[in-house]
Structures are given as structure tokens and as C-alpha cells.
């Protein structure tokens, strides 16, 4: 197992290096940030000084060498915009997104598994109808539209919930609810399909012949076997939120990593862009590792 983790970490490290190189040069292609930070009437000297200060006058390859040297010492550079260490800015935003992702995915997973399993147990029953409805909604309703409609109804008209920002638990309700819909619909379908297969399996027949009660048949005998494909999709969806639910975070003014990334790209805040991408990449690596470990825990036939 440790050998497996080590091997995976090595492979991910290599791709991370490639990613850093690629993003470093690509982001430099977007142009000079000087004009975005200094006022329109700033003097040529002031501009020169700004460039000199941040090293934008050096050849790209020299800038890159410097960046790598700094990285080696754990220095991810400064945010141009906030004049704070880039990693500090990124980790703060990532903390918000991580909480958003964990809350949303916990709700999604629990709801999808319970409703999906019950839907599979009685195809055509009430839970099955909920499953069908939500997967249709999840697949077809664009999240930005859902977000705006939700704000109009629950915040503007009914005054039940705040429109945007953070602060109280109530601020979390709308973003979580809107982010919930798509993964819920998708995972529900996967749970349902996987459970239908599992519940018609031979070992479930054995459990019935043993006289096992209905609930343990579904949630003990069936579910653990049905979880393997489900976990893959859960990981995938969680990664999507971790990577920045850009649209949702922007609409709800949520200070997460998605919003940060978009803002820093628009402002050519290169150090922050690079740091965000590295944090996301590491998060996804850990996510995948967790999925693999979950696989091995659920199914004794899988050993690394």
C-alpha cells in the first residue's frame, strides 16, 4: 500500500512539474500586468519601476529560473493585487471552497445513496420517481440560471436567505443547494443503476434465501457492492467543485478558489494563478488517492 502511494505520488509530482511549466509560460502570453495595476496616467518611469520591481523586464527564461528557485525554497511569490504571499491568499480561498465541497458532497452522497438504493429496490415506486425527476433536472437546468432564480425567489422576494457573501450559516444554504442539484442527479442515477444490478445478483438471492430482512439486504449486502462505480463519480464531482465552482462562487460572491482564480487571471496576478493551480492539482491527487483507498477498503479483492 505505501509502495503504491509512493508510486502514485511520484507520477503526480512529474505531472505537476509539467503543469507548472505550461501554466507559467501560457500565463505570460496573456500580456503585461503593469497596465492593469498602475493608473492610466502613470509616468513611463513609474511603469519601468513597477516592471523592474516584479522582474518583468528580464527574459522569460530568467523569470522562470527565478520562480523555480523561489519555489524550491517554498516561496510561491507575492500576489500583485493583495501584496501578500500568493500561497496564503490561495490557501485562504481554498479553505472556503473545501468547506463548500465537503458540505455539498456529504449532502449529495447521503441523499443519492439512500434515495438511489430505495429507487432500485422498487423500480417505478415513489423513490424511483424522485430519482428520475432529479436526474432530469440536474442534467438539464444550467446552474447559473438555477442560482439566479433561487436568489430572486428566496432572497429577493421571500427575504428568507441572504443573496450573497458569507458570515452566517444561512449564507451557505443557497450555494450548497444550487451546487447540490447536478451531482445529486448524476450520482443518483449511478447508485440506482449499480444497485439494480447488485440487487439482482446471486449473493442477494442467497441473502433472501437466508431470511435476511429487507433493509440489511439493501444497505448491507447490496450497497457495499454497488458502491465501487459510485465512488468514482463522487470523487469526480467533488473534484469539480474543488477545482472551483467558478460560476456559483462568482454569483454568490463566495470567496473560494474558483472566484480567486478567475479574478487573478483577469488581473494577470501570475503568482496567485500558479499557486491556485498547484493547490487544485494537489487536491485532486489526494482525492484520487482517497478513491483508490476507498476501493480497497470496500472490496477485499482489490489489493495494491
Report the interface residues with other proteins, using CB under 8 A. Answer: 201-203, 205-213, 216, 221, 224-225, 298-301
Q: How far is the CB of 54 from other proteins (least distance, A)?
A: 56
- 114 HSE (CA, 13 A, CB side): 5
Q: How far is the CB of 110 from other proteins (least distance, A)?
A: 20
Shortest CB 114 distance to other proteins, Å: 19
Angle between helices 223-242 and 270-298 (to 10 degrees): 180
The nearer residue to other proteins, 144 or 203, going by C-beta atoms, is: 203
Nearest to other proteins of 97, 198 (CB atom): 198
168 — alpha (psi -120 to 50), left (phi > 0) or beta? beta
Residue 82 CA: distances (Å) to CA of 89, 143, 220: 8, 30, 52
CB of 214 to other proteins, least distance (A): 8
In whole angstroms, give the CA distance from residue 173 to residue 213: 37
Least distance in angstroms from the C-beta of 211 to other proteins: 4
Q: What DSSP line would sit under 149-192, residue for residue?
A: HHIIIIIIIS--S-SS--SSTHHHHHHHHHHHHHHHHHHHHHHH
Cell readout for 296 is 480497497
Q: How far is the C-alpha of 230 from the C-alpha of 193, rounded, in Å?
A: 10
Q: Between 100 and 227, name the residue whose CB sits nearer to other proteins.
A: 227
CB closer to other proteins out of 133 and 304: 304
- Report in angstroms how near the CB of residue 299 gets to other proteins at its nearest: 6
Q: Give the nearer residue to other proteins in terms of CB position, either 163 or 201.
A: 201
| Closest CB to other proteins among residues 171, 221 | 221
Cβ-contact 256, 96 below 8 angstroms:
yes
**Least separation, in Å, of the C-beta of 191 and other proteins?**
16
Smaller CB separation from other proteins, 48 or 299? 299
Amino acid at each position: 500500500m505505501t509502495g503504491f502511494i509512493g508510486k502514485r505520488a511520484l507520477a503526480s509530482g512529474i505531472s505537476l512539474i509539467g503543469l507548472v511549466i505550461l501554466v507559467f509560460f501560457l500565463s505570460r502570453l496573456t500580456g503585461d500586468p503593469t497596465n492593469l495595476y498602475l493608473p492610466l496616467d502613470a509616468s513611463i518611469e513609474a511603469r519601468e519601476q513597477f516592471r523592474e520591481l516584479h522582474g518583468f523586464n528580464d527574459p522569460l527564461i530568467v523569470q522562470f529560473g527565478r520562480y523555480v528557485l523561489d519555489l524550491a525554497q517554498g516561496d510561491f511569490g507575492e500576489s500583485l493585487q493583495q501584496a501578500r504571499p500568493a500561497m496564503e491568499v490561495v490557501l485562504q480561498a481554498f479553505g472556503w471552497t473545501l468547506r463548500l465541497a465537503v458540505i455539498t458532497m456529504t449532502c449529495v452522497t447521503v441523499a443519492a445513496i439512500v434515495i438511489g438504493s430505495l429507487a432500485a429496490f422498487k423500480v417505478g415506486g415513489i423513490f424511483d420517481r424522485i430519482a428520475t425527476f432529479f436526474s432530469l433536472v440536474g442534467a438539464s437546468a444550467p446552474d447559473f440560471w438555477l442560482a439566479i432564480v433561487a436568489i430572486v425567489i428566496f432572497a429577493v422576494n421571500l427575504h428568507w436567505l441572504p443573496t450573497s457573501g458569507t458570515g452566517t450559516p444561512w449564507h451557505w444554504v443557497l450555494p450548497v443547494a444550487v451546487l447540490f442539484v447536478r451531482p445529486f442527479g448524476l450520482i443518483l442515477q449511478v447508485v440506482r443503476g449499480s444497485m439494480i444490478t447488485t440487487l439482482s445478483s446471486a449473493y442477494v438471492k442467497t441473502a433472501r434465501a437466508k431470511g435476511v430482512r429487507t433493509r440489511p439486504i439493501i444497505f448491507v449486502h447490496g450497497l457495499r457492492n454497488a458502491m465501487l462505480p459510485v465512488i468514482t463519480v463522487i470523487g469526480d464531482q467533488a473534484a469539480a467543485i474543488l477545482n472551483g465552482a467558478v460560476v456559483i462562487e462568482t454569483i454568490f460572491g463566495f470567496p473560494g478558489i474558483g472566484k480567486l482564480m478567475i479574478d487573478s487571471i483577469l488581473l494577470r496576478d501570475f503568482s496567485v494563478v500558479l499557486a491556485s493551480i498547484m493547490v487544485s492539482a494537489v487536491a485532486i491527487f489526494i482525492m484520487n488517492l482517497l478513491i483508490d483507498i476507498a476501493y480497497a477498503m470496500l472490496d477485499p479483492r482489490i489489493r495494491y
